[in-house]
Chain A
């Protein structure tokens, strides 16, 4: 079943080349929804008490190089898989309603991107993970470069160079890990289970840690390595930027939990403070930038940089409550940022510009759209009662207990979030309606995309335990090595 989940998007993408013209908008939607249903079935059948892998797949792939085709889900990845399929369904629907030219290639790339992302979440072999992680880049390169807006070519080259610098170093680090572990394992193996059982000696972990960290921090993006983000977010088609910010950024954070913490615990402890500084700096910097930017996409982009700072903070607090909160927050942020971008797309359509200063008054004739946006905004600023509040709360509890100073500074970020989120909402929805801006209610089709996402935000706010309960055991397992190493 996991195999179907993984490969259906790419297969449907290939089918897009042969379907008749009429079916080109229907087929990808059916495919994406089908995968979503599979993911929901997977979640329903998930055993919340088990820490280990469920639905494992283990096949020989390239035996001579020690690479196996190993997949599986656990409490950390299961909801990220669900999030991926959900956001991709939304993005595919949105694209089907606003069809791009050269639709066949577009939907192929979108499907390939989904397969690659799901692959990164499902892979249980280090090299397979690296492969899917790098593969994600190719479809996004084309999606942004061929269907994007202004300055798209420059933006994509910047994005690819930034991300590939990180991920190629990661490839080298992955190979080095397997070869250094070879004597202990007994054979050349990239299997995460084998590598977890035979952690490398302390000395060789350091550079490997940084090679992985580089890849993950760039992907998020974290502070200092976010240079590609503004251009890419501005140039990408809106449906693409929704999944880019919603899901791809999570792959980086997920990588820390899945790979770095369990495999390189000593280096993690050693560099904990450095990563925490980057995280907190990201929270503050992202918050301030989001408050000062005038392009609506960049407001959302920098806000997500700040949010990812929080997620990193939670993971690197190296305490179960912090990491639990981080896992919850990953899903929360994905659920919030994707509709934010989709709504921004609608707003820009109505205002004819993406400049915040020239927008306003859009709520006048569009109460439903405004209500949707308000819910999303309140969730973004982590209003008590939202799942984001619970996620940030857990993260801060974890950080307060392990690193008090960082927690205090990070709390400022919460206040900043309130500023920029409210500013975005007010500037676009309230005030006087400027000339040239038409206030229109959300169309039925767009509502069909956005309302379910908002409904998910509300549902998760009512029952965040859904994720916390299932994540706990796996998170503890991921943190175990660092706790052992600390002793």
Chain B
């Protein structure tokens, strides 16, 4: 009797393997102390992420099942994984001088890589179990990262809040997945799809499952009315972590949202389309209105992220290839435009005593053009003004909405954009049209050490004008502008990703 070893597709798994190996190396190298430790660790993380990105690009065009069908490597998975990996690589230099990561760079970076690994797996998940495991792999490190600024109560609060709400979301999702499994007797997406197609579409178990799964995923992508955690967690978490969460988590969760709903639950599209459309509209309204009165830039971007999630959901609701393409395009554009904004907030947090208050960016236009321009481009793109990738993304989404007979969702996007101008323009007005703010008494020190009393009087860390932050920020902002003027490569890339789901869609 001969033992048949399972056939393992190492090439397909290579990005995951690279990330796992890099994660271990980074974790271990963090244990070795030394003056240059933080640079070594950050360099190792960057190398890991670059390797993973290289391997993902190498696998571009693949369409195969991995690990006995638990994972599916296709262009959609690769595209979204690339977004997550890019976001992580962007965040690494931001954490270099992050107070919360001082002394424990190894842990910090390893958690970041672990979360990225979860995202890469999540984009490929094609099985309810794989979905849940990957989602937890993504979330658990983030709970820790959010609370990693241990000297700052807000950070701890943020971590705890995220843990509780996130677990609630996970539990709801798991419950929903159980219902779906119960009804169809399968955990595989395609098998669930054919099961529902074979007459289970009106089964109450399936309907409850869909509702609970949608709720759980809505928590993760921060759609209203499941968004309450977002502004608090975004505000409390260390800014680089917020930056990472706002784009990468959203991208990965939307990817699995699309895969679950359009592959597995595709046959019952008529059941989930109207409620999800309603969810999109509620998010657009709540996010944009919530952002209006915010003085904290991170809260503002948190609410704006809720609204953006509403826009992105449109691409899912219409259940068409164009919709998925628009969704992927918008996620990529959103990554490019959101990261520079957070990078600028990170830098200003360390330079000024205002934290992430809007006063921190006042007068930036005349004082620090190298920061003001990326922030300006990124805000203009978030507002969807032409000449930026944000405009093309909105155009893409509205086109998908109108094409899918959801013109009123297009109207909702447009109305939301109008409201959003009120707060986006406030930021631009602060940057270009107001003089730099004077610190009030008692606000004397930059929060370099998380506002800890014992750090008062410490010198501002050297290299706050750090090129390592500035260069990626400017590159991302420039890419936002370039893809607004010449969007063809990004559109092609998104269409490839969307075509991966073409067999399941009209």
Taking a contact as CB atoms under 8 Å apart, the answer to whether B422 and A157 are in contact is yes
A135 part of interface (Cβ distance < 8 Å): yes
* Nearest Cβ on chain A to B337's Cβ, whole angstroms: 15
Of the candidates A105, A127, A132, A141, the one whose C-beta lies within 8 Å of that of B395 is A127
User: In the assembled complex, which residues on chain B have CB atoms less than 8 Å from the CB atom of A65?
Assistant: 392, 395-396, 399, 491
User: In the assembled complex, which residues on chain B have CB atoms less than 8 Å from the CB atom of A168?
Assistant: 414, 417-418
Interface string of A56-67 (1 = CB under 8 A from B): 000001111100
Within 8 A of A (CB), among B383-439: 385-387, 391-392, 394-396, 398-399, 402-403, 407, 410-411, 414, 417-418, 421-422, 425-426, 428-429, 432-434
Q: A65-B395, A134-B386, A172-B410 are in contact. Are A164 and B418 (CB under 8 A)?
A: yes
* Nearest Cβ on chain B to A125's Cβ, whole angstroms: 13
* Nearest Cβ on chain B to A362's Cβ, whole angstroms: 32
Q: Name the CB-closest residue of B to A148.
A: B433
Of the candidates A156, A164, A165, the one whose C-beta lies within 8 Å of that of B429 is A156
B488 part of interface (Cβ distance < 8 Å): yes
> Considering the chains assembled together, what is the distance between the CA atoms of A138 and B403 in angstroms?
29
A153 part of interface (Cβ distance < 8 Å): yes
> Considering the chains assembled together, what is the distance between the CA atoms of A135 and B380 in angstroms?
11
Q: A146-B432, A157-B425 are in contact. Are A165 and B418 (CB under 8 A)?
A: yes
User: In the assembled complex, which residues on chain A have CB atoms less than 8 Å from the CB atom of B385?
Assistant: 134-135, 137-138
Of the candidates A105, A141, A160, A175, the one whose C-beta lies within 8 Å of that of B365 is A105
> Considering the chains assembled together, what is the distance between the CA atoms of A23 and B425 in angstroms?
32
A400 part of interface (Cβ distance < 8 Å): no
Most buried by A among B369, B386, B399, B495: B386
> Considering the chains assembled together, what is the distance between the CA atoms of A399 and B36 in angstroms?
81
Within 8 A of B (CB), among A226-253: none
B228 part of interface (Cβ distance < 8 Å): no
The range of chain B's interface size is 35 or more
Taking a contact as CB atoms under 8 Å apart, the answer to whether B414 and A135 are in contact is no
* Nearest Cβ on chain B to A289's Cβ, whole angstroms: 27
Taking a contact as CB atoms under 8 Å apart, the answer to whether B422 and A176 are in contact is no
Taking a contact as CB atoms under 8 Å apart, the answer to whether B488 and A63 are in contact is yes
User: In the assembled complex, which residues on chain B have CB atoms less than 8 Å from the CB atom of A62?
Assistant: 392, 487-488, 491
Q: Name the CB-closest residue of A to B431.
A: A146
* Nearest Cβ on chain B to A248's Cβ, whole angstroms: 16
User: In the assembled complex, which residues on chain A have CB atoms less than 8 Å from the CB atom of B402?
Assistant: 172, 175-176, 179
Q: Name the CB-closest residue of B to A119.
A: B386
Of the candidates A64, A145, A165, the one whose C-beta lies within 8 Å of that of B491 is A64
* Nearest Cβ on chain A to B363's Cβ, whole angstroms: 11
A486 part of interface (Cβ distance < 8 Å): no
User: In the assembled complex, which residues on chain A have CB atoms less than 8 Å from the CB atom of B411?
Assistant: 172
Of the candidates A64, A102, A160, the one whose C-beta lies within 8 Å of that of B425 is A160
> Considering the chains assembled together, what is the distance between the CA atoms of A138 and B425 in angstroms?
11
* Nearest Cβ on chain A to B418's Cβ, whole angstroms: 5
Q: A138-B380, A161-B421, A164-B418 are in contact. Are A171 and B395 (CB under 8 A)?
A: yes
Interface string of B480-491 (1 = CB under 8 A from A): 000000011001
A419 part of interface (Cβ distance < 8 Å): no
Within 8 A of B (CB), among A48-88: 61-65
* Nearest Cβ on chain A to B365's Cβ, whole angstroms: 7
Within 8 A of B (CB), among A103-148: 105, 127, 130-132, 134-135, 137-138, 141-142, 145-146
B64 part of interface (Cβ distance < 8 Å): no
Taking a contact as CB atoms under 8 Å apart, the answer to whether A172 and B414 are in contact is yes
Interface string of B363-381 (1 = CB under 8 A from A): 0011001000000000010
Q: A157-B422, A160-B425 are in contact. Are A175 and B387 (CB under 8 A)?
A: no
B456 part of interface (Cβ distance < 8 Å): no
Taking a contact as CB atoms under 8 Å apart, the answer to whether A64 and B495 are in contact is yes
User: In the assembled complex, which residues on chain A have CB atoms less than 8 Å from the CB atom of B325?
Assistant: 64
Q: Give residues in A with beta carbon < 8 Å to B.
A: 61-65, 102, 105, 127, 130-132, 134-135, 137-138, 141-142, 145-146, 152-153, 156-157, 160-161, 164-165, 168-169, 171-172, 175-176, 179
Given contacts A134-B385, A153-B434, 4 further A-B contacts (CB under 8 A): A63-B488, A130-B386, A138-B387, A169-B414
Q: Give residues in B with beta carbon < 8 Å to A.
A: 325, 365-366, 369, 380, 385-387, 391-392, 394-396, 398-399, 402-403, 407, 410-411, 414, 417-418, 421-422, 425-426, 428-429, 432-434, 487-488, 491-492, 495
Question: What are 24 A-B interface contacts by the 8 Å CB criterion?
Answer: A61-B488, A64-B491, A64-B492, A65-B395, A65-B399, A105-B365, A127-B395, A134-B391, A135-B387, A145-B429, A146-B432, A153-B434, A160-B425, A164-B418, A164-B421, A168-B417, A168-B418, A172-B411, A175-B395, A175-B398, A175-B399, A176-B402, A176-B407, A179-B399
